[in-house]
């Protein structure tokens, strides 16, 4: 039986075929009676804000107050078979990313054209080649990765995975190797939904919500790296934005490190501060304001706007030159670019990095990814996208949400760039069409609303090791973000998506 291809799943499926899953039943019959909502919504909001489901106000930043993060009242139904499948695969996905990151030739071939037209990726690449030529001072890298997947509507019988109910399978959106957030927000969303079901006197449903130790897992990864560095006085550095709106998620990482290991100290600095106050010793130890840095955890540095001037680029280079263990180190960052993701999905590539059986399992996560290089293959992809833009997503080499191009706009963008090398800054991807369900959206200062939604599941993984020696590769918890089915992207901070958790069904 063939694996799912773009035609059976994300693309031109037969919309009249009833065996194609287009909706998923919610965990409870909806709508809920008004009197239940009136009772439960204020309780849920209190629980959320009191357990750190908050964000700083974007429009009116105030360090003294927090706004309730948007969340869904109920956990969203997710097929257990698919959840278990991605959980089991995560340690292999970690290893794949680790090996890709350590394959200089693969990264070079994959990014060669991209770096000619994408200035940001080129700067990252230049840092990589600089530290590589100087000799990498820290062979060990810490991967705190998050593989994001969405369910896709499948036609019964189109592949091994969708011959049986629920006729859906997961397809990977991307793998994040830098600033993989929601290690706190993921588990806390599950706690909110557990509390809600408990208050609604539905304890029999609680077993459907999987355990989620993402925060402990990710912080455990940082602590293992700190131990490997082997200097009891050294600290963990969080590289942060100038203003952190998603402060709860980050601070709870600090508190969890303190909980697990009271002897380890965390400091937070932005790239500008590092440029002013960071220095390397003659033996490449990174020292900031008198503290030696054992581990660097990047929660910023993934978008051009976070490098205001040459000073911030210098700071990144200083960090990469150092013997601190970085999450990610520069080659790990590059391995997580969209272009590399597209190159990994080429037939035969997985088999270079994984065993045949592992490669087969990972390949089942992939949907169609296409190069837009100036080549006959790229020409064909351009034509395909122009002919049927609704079937695709056009992606530049950016992280952090809000950068992709959808629908008719794809045609407009490609029309402008199709005959120039500029198009090599992008990749093309099949658009995943997840099944829809209903849930109650709760947002600060707004009435609760029953809405149609789709979800994106993030699976966390931790991996520590050198090119030759992997100390561990683990699954480290999950998070679920859910958005209105009508929007293209659902960033929680951007207000289009909201926190959610998983309700497993068979």
Q: With contacts defined by CB under 6 A, name the span among 79-87, 263-271, 393-401, 465-473 that binds ligand ADP.
A: 393-401
Q: With contacts defined by CB under 6 A, name the span among 43-51, 109-117, 346-354, 392-400 that binds ligand ADP.
A: 392-400
Residue linked to tokens 């000799």: 135
- Cβ 180 to ligand ADP shortest distance, Å: 10
- Cβ 192 to ligand ADP shortest distance, Å: 21
| Spatial contact of 430 and 365, defined as CB atoms under 8 Å apart | no
Q: For residues 13 and 226, which CB has a smaller minimum distance to ligand ADP in the complex?
A: 13
- Cβ 245 to ligand ADP shortest distance, Å: 16
Q: For residues 154 and 264, which CB has a smaller minimum distance to ligand ADP in the complex?
A: 154
Q: For residues 221 and 336, which CB has a smaller minimum distance to ligand ADP in the complex?
A: 336
Q: How far is CA 210 from CA 149, 252, 479, 480, 501, in A?
A: 17, 21, 11, 12, 9
| Spatial contact of 264 and 258, defined as CB atoms under 8 Å apart | yes
The size of the interface with ligand ADP (CB under 6 A), counted in residues, is 17
- Cβ 181 to ligand ADP shortest distance, Å: 10
Q: For residues 149 and 237, which CB has a smaller minimum distance to ligand ADP in the complex?
A: 149
| 5 near ligand ADP (CB under 6 A) | no
Residue linked to tokens 């065996």: 19
DSSP 166-203: T-EEEEEEEEE-S----TTHHHHHHHHHHHHHHHTT-G
| Spatial contact of 40 and 196, defined as CB atoms under 8 Å apart | yes
Give the sign of the dihedral formed by CA 360, CA 109, CA 146, CA 391. Answer: negative
Question: Taking CB under 6 A as the criterion, which residues in 210-229 touch ligand ADP?
Answer: none
Distance CA 455, CA 501 (A): 9
Q: For residues 237 and 453, which CB has a smaller minimum distance to ligand ADP in the complex?
A: 453
Q: For residues 150 and 218, which CB has a smaller minimum distance to ligand ADP in the complex?
A: 150
- Cβ 393 to ligand ADP shortest distance, Å: 4
- Cβ 113 to ligand ADP shortest distance, Å: 20
H or E stretch covering 135: none
What x-and-dash track marks residues 163-202 binding ligand ADP by CB under 6 A? ----------xx----------------------------
| Phi–psi pair at 500, nearest 5 degrees | -155, 170
Question: Taking CB under 6 A as the criterion, which residues in 143-162 touch ligand ADP?
Answer: 148
| 396 near ligand ADP (CB under 6 A) | no
| Spatial contact of 349 and 358, defined as CB atoms under 8 Å apart | no
Percent helix, strand, coil in the chain, to 5, is 40, 25, 35
Q: With contacts defined by CB under 6 A, name the span among 206-214, 216-224, 401-409, 416-424 that binds ligand ADP.
A: 401-409
What x-and-dash track marks residues 425-464 binding ligand ADP by CB under 6 A? ----xxxx-----------------------x--------
Looking only at the bridges linking them, the beta strands covering 449-465 and 470-484 are antiparallel
490 pairs with which residues across the strands?
A: none
| 118 near ligand ADP (CB under 6 A) | no
| 400 near ligand ADP (CB under 6 A) | yes
- Cβ 428 to ligand ADP shortest distance, Å: 10
Q: Which of 490, 499, 503, 504 binds ligand ADP (CB under 6 A)?
A: 490
Q: Which of 403, 438, 466, 485 binds ligand ADP (CB under 6 A)?
A: 403
Question: Taking CB under 6 A as the criterion, which residues in 353-382 touch ligand ADP?
Answer: none
H or E stretch covering 271: helix 271-277
Residue 396's closest CA among 435, 355, 426?
426
What x-and-dash track marks residues 17-56 binding ligand ADP by CB under 6 A? ----------------------------------------
Q: With contacts defined by CB under 6 A, name the span among 27-35, 202-210, 224-232, 400-408 that binds ligand ADP.
A: 400-408
- Cβ 21 to ligand ADP shortest distance, Å: 16
| Spatial contact of 149 and 459, defined as CB atoms under 8 Å apart | yes
- Cβ 323 to ligand ADP shortest distance, Å: 29
| 393 near ligand ADP (CB under 6 A) | yes
Distance CA 269, CA 385 (A): 42
Tokens of 39: 């009772």
Tokens of 340: 């590399």
- Cβ 353 to ligand ADP shortest distance, Å: 21
Q: Which of 258, 265, 489, 494 binds ligand ADP (CB under 6 A)?
A: 489
Distance CA 428, CA 413 (A): 12
Query: 191-194 long-range CB contacts below 8 Å, 24 or more apart?
Result: 191/47, 191/51, 192/44, 192/47, 192/48, 192/51, 192/53, 192/71, 192/499, 192/501, 193/72, 193/73, 193/74, 193/75, 193/500, 193/501, 193/503
| 303 near ligand ADP (CB under 6 A) | no
Interface residues with ligand ADP (CB under 6 A) are 148, 173-174, 393, 395, 399-401, 403-404, 429-432, 456, 489-490
């Amino acid at each position: 039986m063939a694996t799912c291809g773009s035609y059976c799943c994300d693309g031109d499926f037969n919309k009249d075929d009833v065996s194609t899953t287009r909706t998923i039943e919610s965990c409870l019959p909806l709508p809920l009676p008004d009197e239940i909502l009136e009772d439960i919504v204020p309780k849920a909001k209190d629980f959320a804000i009191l357990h750190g489901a908050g964000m700083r106000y974007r429009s009116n930043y105030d360090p003294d107050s927090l706004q309730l993060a948007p969340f869904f009242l109920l956990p969203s139904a997710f097929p257990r078979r698919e959840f278990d499948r991605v959980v089991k695969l995560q340690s292999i996905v970690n290893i794949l990313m680790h090996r890709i990151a350590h394959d200089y030739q693969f990264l070079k071939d994959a990014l060669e054209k991209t770096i000619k037209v994408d200035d940001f990726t080129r700067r990252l690449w230049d840092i990589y080649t600089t530290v590589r030529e100087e000799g990498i001072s820290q062979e060990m890298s810490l991967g705190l990765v998050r593989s994001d997947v969405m369910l896709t509507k499948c036609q019964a019988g189109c592949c091994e995975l969708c011959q049986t109910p629920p006729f859906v399978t997961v397809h990977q959106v991307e793998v994040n190797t830098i600033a993989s957030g929601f290690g706190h927000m993921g588990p806390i969303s599950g706690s909110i939904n557990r509390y809600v079901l408990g208050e609604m006197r539905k304890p029999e449903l609680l077993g459907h919500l999987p355990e989620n130790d993402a925060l402990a897992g990710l912080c455990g990864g940082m602590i293992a790296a700190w131990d490997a560095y082997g200097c009891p006085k050294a600290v963990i550095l969080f590289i942060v934005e100038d203003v952190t709106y998603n402060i709860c998620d980050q601070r709870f990482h600090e508190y969890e490190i303190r909980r697990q290991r009271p002897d380890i100290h965390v400091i937070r600095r932005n790239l500008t501060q590092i440029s002013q106050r960071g220095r390397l010793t003659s033996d490449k130890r990174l020292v900031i304001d008198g503290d030696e840095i054992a581990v660097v955890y990047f929660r910023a540095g993934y978008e051009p706007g976070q490098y205001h001037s040459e000073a911030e680029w210098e700071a990144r280079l200083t960090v990469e030159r150092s013997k601190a263990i970085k999450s990610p180190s520069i080659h790990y960052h590059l391995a997580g670019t969209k272009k590399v993701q597209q190159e990994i999905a080429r037939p035969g590539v997985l088999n270079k990095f994984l065993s045949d059986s592992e490669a087969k399992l990972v390949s089942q996560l992939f949907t169609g990814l296409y190069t837009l290089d100036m080549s006959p293959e790229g020409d064909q992809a351009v034509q395909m996208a122009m002919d049927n833009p609704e079937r695709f997503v056009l992606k530049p080499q950016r992280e952090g949400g809000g950068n992709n191009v959808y629908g008719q706009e794809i045609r407009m963008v490609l029309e402008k760039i199709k005959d120039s090398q500029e198009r090599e800054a992008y990749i093309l991807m099949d658009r995943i069409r997840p099944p829809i369900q209903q849930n109650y959206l709760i947002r600060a200062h707004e009435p609760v609303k029953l809405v149609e939604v789709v979800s994106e599941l993030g699976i966390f993984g931790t991996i520590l090791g050198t090119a030759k020696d992997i100390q561990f590769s683990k699954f480290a918890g999950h998070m679920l973000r859910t958005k209105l089915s009508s929007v293209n992207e659902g960033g929680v901070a951007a207000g289009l998506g909201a926190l959610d958790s998983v309700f497993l069904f068979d």
